[in-house]
Structure 1
């Protein structure tokens, strides 16, 4: 028995659990950075490299899964990707050196990214553009639980069972998702022999020529990438600079994720009264204001509670920016939803690599560089958003 689009809650729960694997595999091990570094006898910057290469793997892997999903259908490539993720998660847990740990994280990303790419394509297959934005918001309610619980669970696992247990748990979740997809997820796009994998580059080139696709993808990607900069630097800022206890880190991290979820659900209500385009552009202005306030906090040097206010507003605003940005990017790409979803995701994670890499390279003594990197994401997002003005390209069936 397969889920139908009428069973919105069940479909969101299933796809949300698949998409949540990616933030789960990022956020859960953040509190254990020090433990992992101590285990391998290396500095934290070496451990942070495992996060940077993860973003590279996601950016590259998505470009592969998009055309595969358009040619062979959604289910088979998704199951293959989840299987790779399960095996490589185990490899992370048993890695004998930090170098092999980092390499395993790269291949783990190649498997994990299938969930995001193909889930977005499935949503585009099943719903019209306005309903796509609403469903993405509902999806974030499910997948948003991961950033809240992941660092809390990860910290407790690392303290009580060792950091390796984090990756054993991720592998187990992958197996559960493989079984769920196999028995419950319907095939929303039948295999299409007409899709030529050799023409993948020209397909991507044609998609990226659409200024609406590029504008929404890059604006949403730049905004969301600044959150990954925050993810990369959050342990340093909260634990090392402000002195938050390791076991309490997850609660601070989770509070921002909760704001993200609340705003993503408010977005569903807003979509009943305004177009996703109006909501998207308004949210980006709020994002810019929060980024400026955060940068000022970094310059002045403020207590933790003051610093957390603009940071919370920034992360929460992404709960509105993200679903509407993705809906805009995919609006004119019904026929090539897999490839368009892959390209949008790849652009996003390419930016995430740059932003998170910048945080990893700059070993600052205070939060200011992180604040400036986050602000730059808001500025870039607002600049690219200007490309989305005017009518969108007509969707191809």
Structure 2
């Protein structure tokens, strides 16, 4: 039985919830050396606080999606934010690296806020309206990782690394109160066994439309991950080893994502989902093709390298809202399950693509090899977008 519709919360509530889901990923990254020094721990062990967080977050979304479909969005989100808040306090008070890592992994349940926010938008909006609203919410996904490390570094410098986790606890408590007030309980429906929601994974994976949208997002994310992994070595000769300049110039990609997300928020409701997805992929491929040609003809310079890379963010900003809305539209009664599965496969697929590319990209490869890898990933995403567009047109 289809779930009864629930009252839509304020969009600002979902923006804060989504921002809280991504902010803990890297806000405390500048504090990693100080954490290692406090606990006299190997840096590789401390670095698990980021890599392990990502793994637990991906697994959490696989479980949280069906739970939110079965028991409702509100209780799942409240539990996730409450656990995150308590875990943040645990990180701030941790007496050892072991306790710190356990609490840090517990923090990863906040990733639930990402997929559940998407599900709430989809079930309270039409398909095109959902893409438009996701575009607006996606701005928070781009802004939070941009300003997070700067804010976290400032807290570390003024008050020490534990202040980051005190800030997480305060933000968690504020979002918990906001969600408790604004996110209304779902109307009572006929209960279905949880196993039926888990079987929904098989139904989704048998859908060409769902798989097409997810693979489009995975290769789009993979393009970004390849850039993040290779930009430092490929541009080292252009920046004279300045990490400050590198960090500033790498911010051009999330800036492009914000622009693309805002454009999606404004125009996605006017056109079919596959249209904004295709436009995003075409822009990303066009920008990277220019970069590839410039590198092939030995046209150097900071602008020649980073300028085309801005189209990675611009294209992804246009692609992700429509692709997410499309993936959740395959089974509207399983919007949470679809959102969680799509998020996990997107992150995992993107990381796998970056790992494979990393086997062929070395410090001696230069910018040309990096552009080849990024263009290959972006082109594959475009092919999946074309497949979905053809499928949608055939269905229509």
TM-score by length of 2: 0.82
**Equivalence for 1:310:** 308
Equivalent-residue separation in structure 2 for 1:219 and 1:346 (angstroms): 14
Write out per-residue CA displacement over residues 213-253 of structure 1, whole angstroms, 9 at most, x where no aligned residue.
1101221132124435555677888899943455x776545
Q: Is contact 1:149–1:254 with CA below 8 Å preserved after alignment?
A: no
Write out per-residue CA displacement over residues 250-278 of structure 1, whole angstroms, 9 at most, x where no aligned residue.
65454432321222112233336532212
CA drift of 1:306 comes to 3.3
Q: Does 1:66 align with 2:65?
A: yes
Q: Is contact 2:22–2:111 with CA below 8 Å preserved after alignment?
A: no
Q: Secondary structure at the match of 2:148?
A: helix
**Equivalence for 2:90:** 91
Tell me the number of residue pairs that the alignment of Structure 1 and Structure 2 aligns.
Answer: 386
Q: Does 1:115 align with 2:116?
A: no
Q: Does 1:391 align with 2:389?
A: no
Equivalent-residue separation in structure 2 for 1:43 and 1:292 (angstroms): 42
CA drift of 1:298 comes to 7.8
Q: Is contact 2:256–2:312 with CA below 8 Å preserved after alignment?
A: no
**Equivalence for 1:19:** 18
Match of 2:348 among 350, 353, 368: 350
Q: Does 1:80 align with 2:79?
A: yes
Equivalent-residue separation in structure 1 for 2:96 and 2:293 (angstroms): 41
Write out per-residue CA displacement over residues 189-222 of structure 1, whole angstroms, 9 at most, x where no aligned residue.
4354532112343211011111101101221132
Distance 1:100 1:293, change over 3 A: farther
Write out per-residue CA displacement over residues 10-30 of structure 1, whole angstroms, 9 at most, x where no aligned residue.
822110110111221123133
Q: Which runs of 5+ in 1 are unaligned?
A: none
**Equivalence for 1:174:** 172
Q: Which runs of 5+ in 2 are unaligned?
A: 1-5
CA drift of 1:88 comes to 2.5
Structure 2 matches for 1:1-397, cutoff 5 A?
Answer: 5=8, 11-39=10-38, 46-95=45-94, 101-109=100-108, 111-187=109-185, 189-190=186-187, 192-228=189-225, 230=227, 242=239, 243-245=241-243, 251-271=248-268, 273-293=270-290, 302-355=300-353, 364-365=362-363, 374-388=374-388, 389-391=390-392
Equivalent-residue separation in structure 2 for 1:339 and 1:237 (angstroms): 39
Q: Secondary structure at the match of 2:332?
A: coil
TM-score by length of 1: 0.82
Q: Is contact 1:217–1:344 with CA below 8 Å preserved after alignment?
A: yes
Write out per-residue CA displacement over residues 89-113 of structure 1, whole angstroms, 9 at most, x where no aligned residue.
333444455565554443322x112
Q: Is contact 2:129–2:268 with CA below 8 Å preserved after alignment?
A: no
Which has the greater radius of gyration? 2
